[in-house]
Structure 1
Amino acid sequence: MSGTSFLLLMVIMDNVASISFEIRQFGPSTVELPSGEVRGLLVTFKDSHWTPVEVYRGLHYGSLGNEGSSFNTQWNKTMSANRWANVCPQVDIGGVNSLKDLLKVLPRVRVIRLYHRSNYTKDQMEDCLALNVFLPSRDWTDTTPFAVMVFVHGESYEIGTGNAYDGSVLASYGDVIVITINYRLGVLGFLNTGHSTAQGNQALMDILAVLQWVQDNIRAFNGDPNKVTLFGHGHGAALVNILTFSSLTEQGKYFQRAVIQSGSALSPWAVSYDAHSCAQWLARNVNCSSFTNDIEGLTKCLRSRSAQDLVNSSPAAPKYHSCMAPSPNPYGEIFRAPVEKLMKESRNTFTSIPVIFGVTSSEAYMYLKQKELTDGISEQRKSQIIRTFVLNNFQYNRQKIFDILYHQYTSWDTVQTEFTRRDNILQLLSDGLYVAPLVKMAQEHSLSTDTYFYAFTHATVSDTAQYHNWTSAVHGDELAYIFGAPLVEGVTPFSDKFTPQEKVISQTMMRYWTNFAKTGDPNKPDGELTFEQKLRSDPGWPKYNRSEQSFLHFGSNTTVSSHYRGKELSLWLDLIPKLNKPAKPNPDPREHELRDQNNMASFDEPHRLITNFKKIFPPHPPIPPPTLPPVPDTHYPNGDPTYSNPKTKREDPLEQIKPPAEERPEQQSGLSNSVPLSITVAIGCSLLFVNILLFSAVYYQRRRIQRLNREAIEQEQNDDNDFPDIGQKPQKENSASKEPPDRDSSVDPQSKPNIQSNPLYTVISKTPCDLAQESSHESLSTLSCASSGVNQKNAVNHKSGVVPALPRDCPVIQKDNIPNSKYAANSSLSKEKMNNVRNSTTTHDTITVV
């Protein structure tokens, strides 16, 4: 830059330093919306070179509605959009916790920023879905449509509001429409019970409803619906990133560019650690745990609690993770799968629009206490923080990963002090929680379309006084420069103490951001350069890719660099992912534990370890949702701050927790019952087949035993004198063996118990008469036993395998009654045959008992 140009630039900066603005009660013009006229406020600047801005506050884009309320679809008079809308229910930082208490757990700068934003969160209401429009004023003859920039705030998923961000300076300087929004937070924005009627991600649906409102209404503000840039910071950046993967955004239908600052969908905190467990812990915190598996009862119980009770009872997630946050839902379309899986899809908004990615040098400063930032940290404290980080973020080879991180983030080229260890820990947490996930996302995006990357490292001078021996940009520092706070005094929620150098940085960043909103290229403005722009010599912002990895560095000077933190990122993107995998199937978890893992004193906040965060109730089976419209109509076709349409009203998050819709009961019953019914039928058929096989085997074996016994009896009858060595000696006739059938049936104390009536007895043991009777059924004539008075001692002795002779009182099948051929066969039985009979009888015993 020449000396003359430099002097002219300094004159401009001197004028900029004196700029301030004032707000008039009403603007000079109105905006005609489909349902009526709306009038906003007018913001003017003392410097005549700055364009006035019309501000329309509290325009409702959706309504949670109230039962029994009546709403008008139109109004006859001009509505005044001069008041901020109520913010969504959240923890009141300014009223509940004192600054002294917050300083015990958070850095001073973080507490001050939250406190400034809390001034805009005092008026809370569930019906909070509103936005604010910052519109540059133009001569009525200029009809060129404005590019639109929609900002998604992101202090956390629990707190925040778009009302706190004044877009007047950015709109005036960049000649774009700026929109800030409110969306549901915490429990009301992300509750996911695992049931089809409580799928979570309400906040994502709110942002999508904002984009639909823009498509329907922005032309009334002379905005271009085909030049919409969605930009978010921190948790808001993660929401923007997730929406780029949503099938509902239809490849750039709702927004055509995106800026993702200091956060991404791959960060550990970006997605709920375990949405169902978080819902269970919430139920316990508000005394609704008895309804955990009863969705209707849970709905009634939660509705009986106030919104403030719910947001104040949100459970704490494991450290470095989130609880009430976006969660993948296979039955939904807004966020239907894990981010890693969505990144592999080739057709979505993410792969079809240009994106700017960016980080600051110390993103994770809020994870350290003010005392640790001021005084540094000890060796023991460093070990505690790294051990907790490793345990909560990795599953395998934890001790190896700990050793690598501890070694990598140690300053070996200088003396180890409390401050060097502090800086090492800040870099480790920043790289692991913010930088590495965002760089991985940028590298993936660069494979498809234009990608730009920046690193903001300038520490605001007025903020560095809050630290000792440390000058580094922290999470959120760049927002003040993007919204133009250094140029104009009183831009909320930022400080008003900036140096002349910081004013230059702010102008440079606003030019890049608004150029990108207009053309998709931060280097190309839309139209001719102004005189002031010609004086500037902004470096060209190169595109980012995997090989060169060029990026823009916003520091004391704006320069082009490459391979941001390349050495450290190679560790996070290459080595650690390889270590965080099992070396074999079904590994033993004990092999991957940290050394001395059961020592809770060796961890930071041990109550927030993942080992202590488990489901407290058994989950109920998930139920597929009914067929629903892809995008619920949650927007208004107008900008009335008080308008609500009963036909398109937005259900509140608790109202959405209801039994499955009854529109298609046959579909639900079929889906839920078909699988169990199929399993039952398959098991029944298998058991039937097995029973048939067993019955056939038993029946065949029994017939075989009967045949062998029959042959043995016949042989005994006809050839009892030929084989004296295989049976009992023939019994002599006596009077006892020929007692008449009607003799006294009293039980002899010396005799064995009568067990013939037992069904098992008929299988295990048969009397000789029975055997003879069975044999006679297959002979030419049918014979019967004379009486049942056969002594038990004549029964077949199965233990020994001996077959007794036929008793005298039982009719004998004579040789004359049997055909000669059969008699010949029976008479030819050998001694070996009789041994087979013994063996068969023993086999019979074994099979029958089993």
Structure 2
Amino acid sequence: MLTLCATQFAGFLKTRASLSPGSGGNLGLMDIILALHWVRDNIASFGGDSKRITVVGHDTGAALANLVLISKSGKGTVDGLVQRAVLLSGSALSPWALIPDPDTVRLEVSQQMACHLVPGHNNRKPTTDDITDCLRDKPIEALMGVRLTNVRFMPSWGPFLPLEDSLDPEFAMEHSGEGFITSELMLGMTTTESYNDFSASDIQYGLEEDQRNRLLRTYIRNAFTFHLNEIFSAVRNEYTDWDKPIQHPINIRDSTMEALSDGHTVAPSIKVAYLHARRGAKTYMFHFGYQSKESEYPQRLGSVRGEELPYIFGLPLVQGLPAFPQNYSRQDMGVNEAVLNFVTNFCKTGDPNEAGQQQIPLLHPDYGTAKERTRFRLITWETYETTTQQYLSICKCFLSLCLSAMLFNFSTEKGPL
């Protein structure tokens, strides 16, 4: 049995200037850590084990879970808050995980909320005053109505640096981060993580080369600081099929989706797995490439960001919920049983293959043939190692253990290595 808890958290708005003691803000991360303290102290009353706490996050939730692991307030030691983490379609190294300029956000909020700041030196950007008290006097509807400058591919709200005394999550994972290396880690991703970055017209008709170039340049300009032209040239070269002198718009669309998926989600996740495994920590990685025949997304594109979530929560085994009105097939149920057993075993023991674990009880035990139901039990999910980079592939061919040839250099803040 697993005991599940969902946490709610406040925002991340920076309320004080950089030059003042502390910076305010990042309260959402503090809320999560406080909730984990509550779980540790009280979960036994609900049938849980305070020594086996796993944080699971998807998208921005995965980035926050990753930040919890490197937070000194969330050390994942035996006597700490977290022992394991599951990061789905995101990490703290994704370019969208942190906002680069929280002072600009603070300024925009203060102006729209009439929380006047003391001008900085030579009338530059304000550097003093805490807007917390002013904001507390405003109705929540007014705060929710604030409109921030939108930077494509980047978040308007979110955590910001420094986090405690760490200026760089990658440095914390590579050199310190006790909670990071003492926690067992599972990372998962889909095939097309960038699907929602494209318009319906782009998806239906594809992209011309000039559209592709503008899209990639916009992403690179907003995600990186230096060597922008060099990064663009490297990405275009890597994600162009040079064997075809004339590129079809659909093929250009597919390669652009792959480039953006790798850039903002896949490559950063692989980098996290690499840093975690390199320090000797137990690491598992999987690619969820499976699509139901009833999927609302084009089969050509492969699995889309979020398509793994029904299988994480077991919806095919209960024939969906109102928010997921899908008629799942017997094969969908077989895949779901496999995914659930791997994930629950990992949450319980830190090993998705743990022998002797009770299998997930099914509401529809006659969903498939014996072959479908037992095939996944023949798979041994090996740990991710820096040399072999093995990961589990969950796809139409059901399950297989693959050797990774994926790169993570594209995701680094300084650009390709």
The normalised TM-score by structure 2 is 0.86
- Residue deviations 1:202-237 (CA, integer Å, cap 9, x gap): 111111121111112111112111111111110000
Shift of 1:244: 0.4
Q: 1:366 aligns with which of 171, 190, 196?
A: 196
Q: 1:304 aligns with which of 137, 148, 161?
A: 137
Equivalent residue runs for 1:263-662 within 5 Å = 263-290=90-117, 292-293=126-127, 295=129, 298-329=131-162, 332=164, 336-346=166-176, 348-414=178-244, 415-447=246-278, 448-464=280-296, 466-467=297-298, 470-491=300-321, 493-525=323-355, 527=357, 536-538=374-376, 539-556=379-396, 557-564=398-405, 566=406, 569=408, 576-578=415-417
Aligned partners of 2:174 and 2:275 also within 8 Å = no
Q: What amino acid is aligned across from residue 215 of structure 2 in structure 1?
A: I
Aligned partners of 2:206 and 2:250 also within 8 Å = yes
The CA distance in 2 between the partners of 1:560 and 1:265, in whole Å, is 26
Q: What amino acid is aligned across from residue 494 of structure 1 in structure 2?
A: F
Equivalent residue runs for 1:732-747 within 5 Å = none
The CA distance in 2 between the partners of 1:422 and 1:391, in whole Å, is 20
1:181 aligns with 2:12: no
Aligned partners of 2:277 and 2:384 also within 8 Å = yes
The CA distance in 2 between the partners of 1:425 and 1:193, in whole Å, is 39
- Residue deviations 1:31-85 (CA, integer Å, cap 9, x gap): xxxxxxxxxxxxxxxxxxxxxxxxxxxxxxxxxxxxxxxxxxxxxxxxxxxxxxx
Aligned partners of 2:16 and 2:128 also within 8 Å = no
The CA distance in 2 between the partners of 1:287 and 1:421, in whole Å, is 47
Q: 1:234 aligns with which of 59, 71, 74?
A: 59
Q: What amino acid is aligned across from residue 560 of structure 1 in structure 2?
A: L
Shift of 1:342: 1.0
The CA distance in 2 between the partners of 1:530 and 1:478, in whole Å, is 18
Aligned partners of 1:191 and 1:324 also within 8 Å = no
Shift of 1:472: 1.2
Change beyond 3 A, Cα 1:362–1:537: same
* 5+ residue gaps, structure 1: 1-174, 579-850
The CA distance in 2 between the partners of 1:228 and 1:218, in whole Å, is 9
The CA distance in 1 between the partners of 2:327 and 2:15, in whole Å, is 43
Aligned partners of 2:87 and 2:187 also within 8 Å = yes
Aligned partners of 2:319 and 2:328 also within 8 Å = no
Aligned partners of 1:373 and 1:422 also within 8 Å = yes
Aligned to 2:40: 215
Change beyond 3 A, Cα 1:223–1:200: same
The CA distance in 2 between the partners of 1:300 and 1:192, in whole Å, is 10
What is the root-mean-square deviation in Å for CA atoms of aligned residues? 2.6
The CA distance in 2 between the partners of 1:574 and 1:191, in whole Å, is 22
Shift of 1:306: 1.7
Aligned to 1:193: 16
Change beyond 3 A, Cα 1:410–1:313: same
Shift of 1:239: 0.3
The CA distance in 1 between the partners of 2:243 and 2:193, in whole Å, is 24
1:259 aligns with 2:86: yes
Aligned to 1:39: none
Equivalent residue runs for 1:668-683 within 5 Å = none
Q: What amino acid is aligned across from residue 285 of structure 1 in structure 2?
A: Q
The CA distance in 1 between the partners of 2:360 and 2:233, in whole Å, is 56
Shift of 1:576: 4.3
Shift of 1:248: 1.2
Change beyond 3 A, Cα 1:406–1:226: same
The CA distance in 2 between the partners of 1:521 and 1:321, in whole Å, is 35
Aligned residue for 1:177, secondary structure, equals: coil
- Residue deviations 1:414-436 (CA, integer Å, cap 9, x gap): 45111111111100110000011
Change beyond 3 A, Cα 1:526–1:337: farther
Q: What amino acid is aligned across from residue 374 of structure 2 in structure 1?
A: R
Aligned partners of 2:202 and 2:253 also within 8 Å = yes
The CA distance in 2 between the partners of 1:262 and 1:530, in whole Å, is 24
Aligned partners of 2:70 and 2:177 also within 8 Å = no
Higher relative contact order (CA 8 A, sep 6+): 2
Aligned partners of 2:69 and 2:82 also within 8 Å = no
The CA distance in 2 between the partners of 1:526 and 1:275, in whole Å, is 49
The CA distance in 2 between the partners of 1:262 and 1:529, in whole Å, is 26
Aligned partners of 1:485 and 1:496 also within 8 Å = no
- Residue deviations 1:7-49 (CA, integer Å, cap 9, x gap): xxxxxxxxxxxxxxxxxxxxxxxxxxxxxxxxxxxxxxxxxxx
Equivalent residue runs for 1:63-82 within 5 Å = none
Shift of 1:341: 2.3
Aligned to 2:122: none
Aligned partners of 1:192 and 1:275 also within 8 Å = no
Q: What amino acid is aligned across from residue 416 of structure 2 in structure 1?
A: P
The CA distance in 2 between the partners of 1:559 and 1:380, in whole Å, is 38
The CA distance in 1 between the partners of 2:360 and 2:236, in whole Å, is 52
Change beyond 3 A, Cα 1:460–1:306: farther
Q: 1:206 aligns with which of 25, 31, 37?
A: 31
Change beyond 3 A, Cα 1:313–1:530: closer
Shift of 1:295: 2.1
Aligned residue for 2:314, secondary structure, equals: coil
